[in-house]
Structure formats: C-alpha cells, structure tokens
Structure 1
Amino acid sequence: MVKSYNEALSWIHGRLRLGIKPGLKRMEWLMAKLDHPEKALKAIHVGGTNGKGSTVTYIRSILNEAGLTVGTFTSPYIEHFNERISLNGMPITNKELVELVRLMEPLAEALEKTPLGSPTEFEVITAMAIYYFARIQPVDIAIFEVGLGGRFDSTNVLQPIISVITTIGMDHMQILGETIEEIANEKAGIIKEHVPLITAAKQKTVRDIFKRKAAEQHAKIWVLGEDWHTREIESLEAGERFSLSSKAAVFEDVEISMLGRHQIDNASLAIMAIQLLQEQGSYVIKEEHVRKGLKHAFWPGRLEIIRQEPYVILDGAHNEQGMKALVETVNRRYSKKSIKVVFAALIDKDASEMLASLETFPGDLYFTQFDFPRAAKAEALLQLTQTKTAKINENWQDLLTALYQNLAKNEVLLVTGSLYFISQCKPFLKNLIHHID
C-alpha cells in the first residue's frame, strides 16, 4: 500500500510499461467494482485531434462563472501531474491523489489476475477521475477529454449529456488508421444514443461520417459552418475577437485571451455546448457568464507567452494540423521578428509533416531531445529536415540557456513539439528567466 505522494506517482507511472491496450472491458470491470460511479456523473465528453484541452477549458471557465462546480480530466499535464484531475481549474491535492491510488491499487492487482489483464496507466487515471468527481468531490458537471481515438478510449465508459468533437487531423495513425476517414470513424465512437453532438470538423467526408453515426444513434448534431457560424474575426494584441450566430442566439464581439484563430473554433464549440445545456433546462447560464468565462480561460502550453521583449513562447504543436495552426499564428503576429525555433518530438509522430511547416519560418531551427521513453533523437529529426542550416543539441537545457542568454529584443524564442517536452521546458524556462532577469 502506497504511503506517500511520490510512491503514488511511481505506482501510476510504473503502469506505463503496459503501453496502450485498446478496449473497454477493463474499464467496465473497474467501474463495476467501484459500484458504477460513471452513472452518477453529468458529463461532457470532448474528443477530436486538436483543441480538446482548450475546448474543455473554455466550457469549464464559463460554467465556473455561472457558479457551478466543475471537474475536468485532461492529458497530458504541463507542470504538475495532479493537473490531469482538476476541480474548478485547480489540481487535486497530493493527499487526494494518494487516497485515489490506495483505492485503485488492490483493484488493479485483482484485475491483473483475471483474463483481462492489468489496467494501463491511462485506465487507472481515468477510473480515479470518475470516482473522484462522483464520490469524493461530487461536481455539477464533469468534462472529460478523450485520451486516444474515442471508440475504445477509457473515457468511453461515460454516458455523457453532450458530446463534442473538435477538428480532425492525421495523428496516431499506427493505432487509429492511415486515412482521415478511418480516424474519423474511431473518433465517432463517442457518439451515444440520444446524446447531442457538436463538432468543428472541417472535412466534408468527416462531417458525413459524424452525421451518419449520429443518425444511427438518433443523436442531434450541430456542425460549425452549417448550424452556427463565426464572423468578424479580428486578432487583438492579447487574444482574438469574433462574433457567433446560431439559430438559438447571437453573440457579438466575443473576446478570448488565447492566441490563434483556431482558438475561435474551440471557443465557439464551448458556446454551443453552453447553449445545449441551457436547452436541457438544468442550468441558468447568462451571456455575461459566457463572455467572462471565455475571456478568462487559459490553457498552458498552447501559444503560451512566458516572456515579452524578447518573446519566449511555448506551444505543444505535436502533429501536422497543430503545427500549421502554430505557424500561421506566429507568421501573422510576429512577421517582423526573427524566430528561433527549438523542436523535439516523439518517435511515433510524423515529424516530417510538422517540419514541412516549421521550415517556412524565416529564422533558425534547432533540434533537441528529452528524457521520455518515446522521445525521438535529435539526430534523427535533423535527417528529416530540408533546412540546411538546422542545428542540433542533445542537451535541451544547455540549448535553451544559450539561446535565451543571447536573445535580442526583436527575436522570438519558440519552443514547440511534444507536450511532454513542453511540460519539462516550462518550469525550466521560468526559473531561467527569473534568475537571468
């Protein structure tokens, strides 16, 4: 039995060796042993390729402004593991995490002795979050981010009141499929019978898949660009501004503080989710709550500015779609500045597609690597680039220190790639900036 927070973390992380095991049988077994806490939750289920965490944050922030207690389950974490299970935007305490691990440890051992085998790290954490929001700190609404895919993801034991699917792109192809349609079919697995779906999917073939699945499940579906529209889009110094119109409501001049026009799609998904909650009649959420919630929403590691003049920016663009959005935003906002890019990725990502976008920056490109089981080597990344002037430094701490110490006011230090990399860089950079400045 674990006694300390560090022991609890070690027990959780020790399950990484089990890898990814698609399927819901182990989760269903755990839920039954816990007396089905998932049935006690009013949940919003958020899937998609990019924008899940931001969309979760927008919805949570609006609901908090309306005075509701909201639980969120997201991954990965940026600074502190406990972030993955948060209450009203605040990570659970170390003591609570220990209590949850003590609950799960004997169950995991018992499950291991069955034909189903041991639960994975993600299955254990998902079960912990469901139990926490249902039994330890009951919430008005729990918002769960899908981990991988949808159909066989651990979170799919939920019976949500609303399903949300953000944009769809090419990611995790080795598991989800090699075409956008195959990936969409996996994402569509979260669509439940009679549960309304909201999606910002761009591709017609993907939207058609979602519509067909929704029809099979007798679920109403709302699609960005068809059932609601964003317009009058404008970039502000510290965010974006847009207007939204749907059959139910019109929102003029809404402001968000997160950077990038792709964030407007995520914010609009949140507005539509709130409209559906109001239609269900369970909650009173006013327009002022929507506006304040969107304006105050913050999600770390997504075009996050941790210093200005010179700029130091972190962004976990870990696939082709995310990298294109990052490049578009940085080129639009910082076109007159020289960009120094530090990039690290995982070996199971198609780095060549991401690099095709990164190579358009009129600046310097540096490859590095970090301590993580699936991290790609800097030399391997260098072999993929067409940029002849790209450089490598296997020690990312030394690289960031040297680049920051020599950063001019008209330059931008952009650290991007794997979110696991960003989670290591952020505390290091904050400490570095504090001591140098």
Structure 2
Amino acid sequence: MINTYDEALNFIHGRTKFKKIPTLKRMRRFLDELGAPDKKINAIHIAGTNGKGSTLAFLRNIFQAEGKTVGSFTSPFLIKFNERISVNGVGISDAEILRLTQELYPTIAKLDAELPEGGPTEFEIVTAMMFKYFSEGHADIVLIEVGLGGLYDSTNVIMPKVSVITSIGWDHMHILGDTLPKIAFQKAGIIKKGVPVVVGGVDPDPLQVIIRQAQKMQSPIQILGKDFDVKDNGEKNWSQYFDFSSGDFHLDQVQTSLIGDYQTHNAALAIQAYIEYESLHQRKADPKIVKKGIESTRWAGRFERVSSNPTIVLDGAHNISAVNLIVQTLENDFSKGHVYILMGILADKQADKMVDKIATVPNASIVLTQFAGPGKRAAANPEKLEHKLETHPKNVSAIDDWHEAITEIKRKLTADDMLLITGSLYFISDVRKYLKQPDHNLK
C-alpha cells in the first residue's frame, strides 16, 4: 500500500516513461474507469515547442485578474513535484498528492493485470491525477500544457474550449519527426472539431500543416501576424514593453517582467486565447483586466533575474529554438558589459548546435558543465561536447563541477556583467536551490 507522500512519488516515478506504440486508447480506458473526470472540466489546451509555460502563466494571470480560480497542469516542475498541478500558481499539497495516488492505485493495478502492454505510464498517471483533482471543482478554468508533441500526448483526451499552438521548432525529433512539418503535424493533433485555435509565429511550411488540420476539423483559426498583432517596444529596466491589437481590441505600452521580445509573442497568444474564450461566452475582453494580468505575471526560469548584485539570470532554454531566442535577446538588449554563460545540457538534446549558436554572441564567454540528469537521462559531457563543436569557438571552455564554475565566474563579474545559467530546466532547478542557500547572500 501507499501510505506516505514519498511512497506516492516513488510509485509514480517508478512507472515506465514510454510504451512502444503511441496511443490514447490506454489513457481513455484509464479515465473511463475513473468516471471520465476529463469530461467534467472547463479547459484551454496549450501545445508548442517553446513558449507553452510562459503563455500559460500570462493566461492564468489574466483569468486571475478577472477573479477566476485557475487550475494549471505544467511540466517539468522547477522545485517540487506538486507544482505540476496547481491552483492560482500554487502547487497542490502533499496530502492531496497522496490522496489522489491512493484513489488511482486500484485502477492502475487493474489495468496492469488486464492490458497486454501493462497499465498507464508515469505521465499518464500524473495527467489522470490532474483530471481527477480538477473534476472535483477546485478551479473555474484549467490551463493544460501538453507534455510532449500533441497528437498522442496523454492530455490530448481533453475537449477544450480553446486550443493554442505557441511555436514549432526542433525538439524531441526521435519521437515527433525529423522535419518541422512532421513536428507541426504532431502539435496540430490537439486541434478538435469546431474548437477555436490560436497559433503563434510559425514558419510557412509547418504553418500550412496547422492550417490544413484546422480546416479539416472546421476549427476557426487565429494566426499571430495575420489575425492579431504584437509590436515589441524593447526592454527597459528589466521590463519588456509591447502594443497589441486584435480587431477593435487594442493595448498600448503593456509592461511585462518576462524579458525577451519572444515573451511579447507569448503574451499576445495568451491575450488572443482569452479574447476567444470570452467571445465563446458572448463577452468582450476587458482591456484593464488583460493589462493587469500581463503586468502581474511572473514565470520562474524564463530569463529570470535571481540576483541584481551581481546580475545572475536563469533560463531553462533546452533546445536550439529556445537558444536562438536567447541569442536574439542578448544581442538586442544586453550588448553592454560581458555575458558569462554557464550551460548544462542533457545528452539527448542537440547540445553541439546549441553551444555553437550561443557562442556567436560577440560579448559572451561560454562555460560548459554537467549536472545529475533526471532519472536515467544523462547530461552531455562538457569536454566531449567542447571537442565536437563545429567551429571550435575560442570563447568556449569546460568546468565539470557547476558549483565550482559559478564561484569562479562570480569572481570575474563587474557591475555591467551578467552570469546567465541555462541549457536545461532540470539544471536550473538544481542551481536555483543552490543559490537560495543563505551563504550566497544574493541581492
């Protein structure tokens, strides 16, 4: 039996991660055995290579500014497992994790015995916990982030009110496909019949795949740059400013603490999704509520300044698309002073391409390091990675121990410099815990 929170976590993390054949049939059977909790919630479904978490955070804060209680389902977590299922941005309690695991356990055991391929995977169990929890009425609306891809992701049993596809880029190619249109086809799998879909800045070829799927499903589609627009007004004093327009809805000089012009795109997607949701309920979006929601949004690990003296920034960029966005932000807004970039990357990512790209920042020095990856996933070896780089840039070095690397870089920082720590959400989660210790005395 499962009697404690730790036993519940051990049980969940001990499950298989993937099955050989992708299918939603097992997830559907699992939920039907539980009384179909997914059919009892009011949801918005968010897919995309990058930007899902930030778009969800913006949307959550807009709904909260309206006075709604907002549930969210995100992955991975930054500090604690409970963050994956949260209400108004606060992870559910240890007691609730234990209760939900205990309630699901008999059904899991039944499916283990009955299904030829075995019962649900780790992610399917966490998804079912989320559906079960929110079906009990703990939130007015639930924002659901896709775990991987879209088409076969276990969240894709949901019939949402609005679907969002934030971006299409290179990630998980071994599962989703080796071209952007193939990856787009997987993400477009979340489009449901007649459900409006909001789409971010996507290249023409993958965008055509999404448009075709929307037409096939008779889903109204709103595309950034065509049906609604955002104008980035740049960064000032660690805030990003932008204008937004959609039909007769306009906002000027909106401020957000999420840095990077790509964050203005994510904010625009959240605003448009909110406009679509309000329209379904015969309501007009209130500009004051939207502005208040955007301005109050915080999202840990997205170009997040955790110290201003010295300047230390954490960013969970873990694929080439996200690194491209960081490079753009550094070149646009942080060309003064020197940027020291400490990177820990999982071995199953395009580590060499990520480093080659970030090494193009003229005022940057890159230090490669390693960390304990999650489960059986290993981090890329810094020395091997350094030798593998195409251009062998002179501004790249390696320090195995990331604690030592942080200490060494901090000694070099002047008032105009920045230490940016990036490469993996798992890595920055470890770093965040370390930097929060009192002896670091960060301001």
Return the TM-score normalized by structure 1: 0.95
Contact 1:21 1:120 in 2 (8 A): no
- 1:244 corresponds in structure 2 to 244
The yes-or-no answer on 1:377 pairing with 2:375 is no
- 2:133 corresponds in structure 1 to 132
| Deviation per residue, 1:310-349 (Å, 9 max, x gap) | 2100001111110011111123222111111111111221
Q: Which runs of 5+ in 2 are unaligned?
A: none
Contact 2:359 2:395 in 1 (8 A): no
Return the TM-score normalized by structure 2: 0.94
Contact 2:61 2:293 in 1 (8 A): yes
Contact 1:25 1:116 in 2 (8 A): no
Deviation at 1:242, TM superposition (A): 1.3
Q: For 1:295, give the aligned amino acid.
A: E
Contact 2:28 2:157 in 1 (8 A): yes
- 2:65 corresponds in structure 1 to 65
Contact 2:341 2:365 in 1 (8 A): yes
Q: For 2:29, give the aligned amino acid.
A: W
Contact 1:306 1:430 in 2 (8 A): no
- 2:414 corresponds in structure 1 to 408
How many aligned positions are there? Answer: 436
- 1:153 corresponds in structure 2 to 153
Contact 2:366 2:397 in 1 (8 A): yes
SS in structure 1 opposite 2:193? coil
The yes-or-no answer on 1:227 pairing with 2:227 is yes
Q: Percent identity?
A: 39
- 1:419 corresponds in structure 2 to 425
Contact 1:63 1:285 in 2 (8 A): no
Within 5 Å, which residues of 2 pair with 1:218-367? Answer: 218-231=218-231, 233-281=233-281, 286-361=286-361, 362-367=363-368
Give the direction of change, closer, same or farther, for the CA distance of 1:282–1:76 in structure 2 (3 Å limit): farther
Deviation at 1:10, TM superposition (A): 1.5
d(CA) in 1 for partners of 2:110, 2:314: 42
d(CA) in 2 for partners of 1:283, 1:20: 45
- 2:216 corresponds in structure 1 to 216
- 2:177 corresponds in structure 1 to 177
- 2:142 corresponds in structure 1 to 142
SS in structure 2 opposite 1:72? strand
- 2:163 corresponds in structure 1 to 163
d(CA) in 2 for partners of 1:43, 1:230: 25
d(CA) in 1 for partners of 2:44, 2:105: 27
SS in structure 2 opposite 1:410? coil
Q: For 1:364, give the aligned amino acid.
A: S
The yes-or-no answer on 1:398 pairing with 2:404 is yes
Deviation at 1:201, TM superposition (A): 3.3
Q: For 1:154, give the aligned amino acid.
A: S
d(CA) in 2 for partners of 1:401, 1:237: 26
Deviation at 1:43, TM superposition (A): 0.6
Deviation at 1:432, TM superposition (A): 6.0
Give the direction of change, closer, same or farther, for the CA distance of 1:262–1:232 in structure 2 (3 Å limit): closer
Moved more, 51-60 or 243-252: 243-252
- 1:120 corresponds in structure 2 to 121
SS in structure 2 opposite 1:226? coil
Contact 2:351 2:380 in 1 (8 A): no
Q: Which runs of 5+ in 1 are unaligned?
A: none
- 1:33 corresponds in structure 2 to 33
What's the C-alpha RMSD, in Å, of the aligned pairs? Answer: 1.8
